Amino acid sequence: MTTTTFVSCDEIRHRFSTAMSAMYQAEVPQYATLVELVEQVNRETLKKDPGLAERFAEAGGPARLGVERHGAIRVGTAAELAMLRRLFAVMGMHPVGYYDLSEAGVPVHSTAFRPIDDGSLASNPFRIFTSLLRLELIESAELRKRAAAILAERDIFTLGARELIARHEEQGGLTDEQAERFVEETLETFRWHRDATVDRDTYDALHAEHRLIADVVCFRGPHINHLTPRTLNIDEVQRRMPAAGMYPKAIIEGPPRRDCPILLRQTSFKALEEQVRFADERQGTHTARFGEIEQRGMALTAKGRTLYDRLLTTARTRSAGLDNRAHQQTLSEVFDEFPDGEAQLRREGLTFFDYRLIDYRLIDKGREEDAGRDEDEGLEALIAQGLVSARPITYEDFLPVSAAGIFQSNLGDSHHETYTGNANRDVFEAALGVSVTDELELYRALERRSIKRVRERLSEKSQLEVDG
């Protein structure tokens, strides 16, 4: 009797993300330059800061840094979104979070497909930020009808991709040969095609409504519109980009530079103007694809997010119209209210941590310190005694304001007030076919599991002594 061996979802995700990066570097040479620049800055940053290098190594950061990427795509219909969910499931990627970008005048709502368990994130934390076009926000009924008809005529997935997704669902995995074919077939969904599916007049009409609508509707598929390497010093990458032939967006999105980075900071080089050929043989250009950089920090608790959101709103109001230097200065001043030390962040319950018992030989002392205290106080005593480590949990998700800021800067900074304030999570999840996972619950569960492991190890040692 022969046993079929399946390739792990983590391995398929690794193969796909590697192939995607190679494809995008070939399509957008500036992205290859960006990756080289980020890698250079990361090496220099770790060399200059031995403490950071040591902490990063302890957390398994170097292994992740070289492969860590996120991408972004935009689809036009509920059916396309639902099929993407099935496609990403083959790679162990699940929808996490709901993002309403209409708040920033962009007619989409989104989720992030990503791995959700610790081992998969450590293996390869590849993510795809996926947006669904909201045709109902288009004011013109005629234009809505035309866009819907165009989208109904296309199939963004190859027959081979559909067959392999179904095979994965039926047999519970893919063989090595099937996994290779899956990567090849799936790449076709994300590949750039310079031939538009509409005539020039239709493109212009959709473009006039919103550039993103034209980008989603007028092409054969949801070409990957950016890939994003992770940097350890986004300010330095931003500073060096012009010398490398890339022109960054006006400001770095997200929180200011801090000793203890939080959440996510993002910037990008401006979208390329690319030649396209329309269905009526007329020529033109289309602007959509770009390169992005991100710097990730600690995951914030609900309390931390509330404080962050309040401070960011204040800072954005004060820095409207300022250049990046002035904007970052304003951010720093406003965020002075947000603690910038790990111990204080932990004690005030603003960030999530992963707790680990350091040394069995010190457990007896740890139990003495822990006795009679509540859980938080007991953990702090164990940390103070050097018995338990508290490692910040990395934020693996996205920020609605940052995502929208990147979109706007690469779509002509357009803002449509008529789109604003139209969140509809129920409709999005109905299109998706499942509920999205709450990202805060994932971080909370990770922290609770780590505390439970510490308690269990203390209890195990105590039980061994009693039995002995």
Locate the domains of the chain by residue range: 9-298+396-437, 300-351, 353-392+440-468
pLDDT given for residue 406 in this prediction: 46
Q: Which of 153, 281, 148 is nearest to 213 (CA)?
A: 148
Query: What percentage of the chain has pLDDT greater than the value 90?
Result: 60
State mean pLDDT over 167-194: 96
pLDDT given for residue 376 in this prediction: 62
State mean pLDDT over 49-62: 78
CB atoms within 10 A of CB 323: 10
pLDDT given for residue 247 in this prediction: 85
pLDDT over 50 at 242, yes or no: yes
pLDDT given for residue 436 in this prediction: 96
Instruction: Return d(Cα 317, Cα 111) in angstroms, integer.
Output: 27
**Contacts with 426 (C-beta within 8 Å, 6 or more apart), sequence order:** none
pLDDT given for residue 235 in this prediction: 93
pLDDT given for residue 415 in this prediction: 46
pLDDT over 80 at 67, yes or no: no
In the numeric block, which tokens belong to residue 310?
């309040």
Strand pairing category for 94-100 and 108-114: antiparallel
Q: Which of 256, 269, 283 is nearest to 228 (CA)?
A: 269
Which value, in Å, is the radius of gyration of the alpha carbons in the chain? 24
pLDDT over 50 at 372, yes or no: no
More confident residue, 456 or 159: 159
In the numeric block, which tokens belong to residue 415?
């803002």
pLDDT over 90 at 107, yes or no: no
In the numeric block, which tokens belong to residue 338?
């947000």
pLDDT tens per residue across span 183-228: 999 999 999 989 999 999 999 999 998 888 999 999 999 999 888 8
What top-level class would CATH report for the domain 9-298+396-437? alpha beta
pLDDT given for residue 464 in this prediction: 45
pLDDT given for residue 404 in this prediction: 47
Q: Which residue type, as a one-letter code, is found at position 438? A: D
pLDDT over 70 at 266, yes or no: yes
Sign of CA dihedral 283, 288, 289, 290: positive
CA distance readout (Å), 298 to 95, 149, 253, 276, 354: 21, 44, 16, 42, 11
pLDDT given for residue 401 in this prediction: 59
Q: Are 90 and 174 in contact (CB under 8 A)?
A: yes
pLDDT tens per residue across span 26-49: 888 888 899 999 999 999 999 998
Helices (H), 244-352: 302-319, 324-334, 342-347
pLDDT over 70 at 181, yes or no: yes
More confident residue, 467 or 388: 388
Q: Which of 87, 95, 85, 86 is nearest to 115 (CA)?
A: 95
Which of 195-209, 246-260, 284-298 is predicted most confidently? Answer: 195-209
Phi, psi of 125 (to 5 degrees): -85, 35
Query: What percentage of the chain has pLDDT greater than the value 70?
Result: 88
pLDDT given for residue 366 in this prediction: 46
Instruction: Return d(Cα 394, Cα 397) in angstroms, integer.
Output: 9
pLDDT over 80 at 75, yes or no: yes
pLDDT over 90 at 158, yes or no: yes
Banded model confidence at residue 58, pLDDT cuts 50, 70, 90: confident
pLDDT tens per residue across span 134-143: 988 888 899 9
More confident residue, 420 or 356: 356
- Label residue 421 exposed, middle or buried (CB < 10 Å: 0-12, 13-18, 19+): exposed
pLDDT over 60 at 371, yes or no: no
pLDDT given for residue 405 in this prediction: 47
Judged by average pLDDT, the poorest of 51-55, 175-179, 306-310 is 51-55
Q: Are 211 and 411 in contact (CB under 8 A)?
A: yes
pLDDT given for residue 409 in this prediction: 47
Q: How much is the mean pLDDT over the chain?
A: 87
Judged by average pLDDT, the poorest of 102-106, 118-122, 302-306 is 102-106
In the numeric block, which tokens belong to residue 248?
């960054």
Q: What is the dihedral of CA 55, 59, 63, 64, to 10 degrees?
A: -110
pLDDT over 90 at 65, yes or no: no
pLDDT over 90 at 291, yes or no: no
pLDDT given for residue 461 in this prediction: 58
- Label residue 244 exposed, middle or buried (CB < 10 Å: 0-12, 13-18, 19+): middle
Q: Which residues of 195-216 are buried (b: 16+ CB within 10 A; e: fewer)?
A: ebbbebebbebbbebbbbbbbb
pLDDT over 80 at 454, yes or no: yes
Banded model confidence at residue 17, pLDDT cuts 50, 70, 90: very high
What angle is formed at CA 8 by the lines to CA 3 and CA 12, rounded to 5 degrees? Answer: 125
pLDDT given for residue 462 in this prediction: 52
Banded model confidence at residue 2, pLDDT cuts 50, 70, 90: low
